[in-house]
Amino acid sequence: MIDNKDYVLTIDGLKTYFEVDHSVVKAVDDVSLKIERGKTLAIVGESGCGKSVTAYSILKLIQKPGKIIGGKIVLYPSNGKAINISELNERSELLYHVRGGYISMIFQEPMTALSPVHTIGNQICEAVLLHSKTKISRKCAEEMAVEMLNKAGMPNSQARIRQYPHEISGGMRQRAVIAMAMITNPELLIADEPTTALDVTIQAQIIELMKKLQNEYRTAIMLITHDFGVVAQTADEVAVMYLGNIVEQASVREIIKNPMHPYTIALLGSLPGIGRIGKRLAPVRGSVPDPLRRPQGCTFHPRCEYAEKGLCDVGLIPGLEEVINGHKVACRRVKEIRKNGK
């Protein structure tokens, strides 16, 4: 362990690049993160910022033309040796247990995450049978599935395990996916936009369910989302990503109450409907640039209100630096922005 905190996963200098048309898209470029046991880390950003690629890289699920070209990912199970995922062979037995056993994943669209030709029960049992440390019977696995579905708030779960995904609603499907992810009692749950496809009342139910299960199993959650509302309601730590880099990282309280990076400030400013009606919003100007033509210097400078010529548009991408207690910002002008207020 690096410091006195109990980490479940550490990522150090992760780089995942995609080679397209003889040029390279740096989808994730030098990202370092640590996730504490039993806590929730949220990764926030707009589409194309590399938040999902980071998650897929942890499970080594990057497909061609993508490639993890650097970085170290280490998993620390609560009992047992640390596992260096980045060095695991593609076909190793251990990687097989990391995926689905130690680390589970929930996807955005529950219909595409479930097999349409297998029953719910079948699919949940499969996870148990594949990853259980002791040999268990099919019947026993089925009982576990029913119990887990009950915990996931699925009404009438005894009957549900005989049903196919198309027979149940979107909210119920997401409950089934969560049951499937949690049944192996994973160390880390990666949730990629778990509530984006759901209605707001169902979303609230799913958020509460995930919190409840997290408390019960002490699972760490890596929540990938674009919604600051969901972040504020669930996360402990937040990392804001822009064009493959983390631009700001802090506790949720710090991010919401005291955002420092111009991008985070702008993102929070562009949220509609908080206390203002009929007034113009303050959006980020322009749009996310083509990842093949990343701007020089700070990648955010063409859209930044505070950008300074000769400072922000030259040199390398600014690195994350700690400003105050655990609040890290990647901006060359952060001191002046803080001093002059927002």
Residue ranges in contact with other proteins by CB under 8 A: 46-47, 169, 171-172, 199-205, 207-208, 226-233, 252-253, 256-257, 266-274, 276-285, 287-288
C-beta closer to other proteins: residue 1 or 200 = 200
Closest of 252, 308, 262 to residue 286, by C-alpha: 262
What single-letter amino acid sits at 201? T
C-beta closer to other proteins: residue 162 or 253 = 253
C-beta closer to other proteins: residue 31 or 255 = 255
The span from the CA of 235 to the CA of 111, in Å, is 26
| Three-state DSSP state, 169 | coil
The DSSP line for 234-295 is H-SEEEEEETTEEEEEEEHHHHHHS--SHHHHHHHHT-TTSS-SSPPP-PPSS-PPPGGGPP
C-beta closer to other proteins: residue 101 or 110 = 110
**Regarding beta strands 66-75 and 7-20, do their DSSP bridges make them parallel or antiparallel, or are they unpaired?**
antiparallel
Q: E strand or H helix at 143, and its extent?
A: helix 138-151
CB of 283 to other proteins, least distance (A): 3
Closest of 79, 37, 7, 30 to residue 241, by C-alpha: 30
CB of 73 to other proteins, least distance (A): 28
C-beta closer to other proteins: residue 269 or 295 = 269
CB of 232 to other proteins, least distance (A): 5
C-beta closer to other proteins: residue 16 or 264 = 264
The span from the CA of 77 to the CA of 188, in Å, is 9
C-beta closer to other proteins: residue 134 or 201 = 201
CB of 6 to other proteins, least distance (A): 24
CB of 23 to other proteins, least distance (A): 18
CB of 210 to other proteins, least distance (A): 12
CB of 81 to other proteins, least distance (A): 38
CA 227 to chain centre: 12
The span from the CA of 19 to the CA of 36, in Å, is 33
**Whether the Cβ atoms of residue 116 and residue 150 lie closer than 8 Å to each other:** no
The span from the CA of 140 to the CA of 147, in Å, is 11
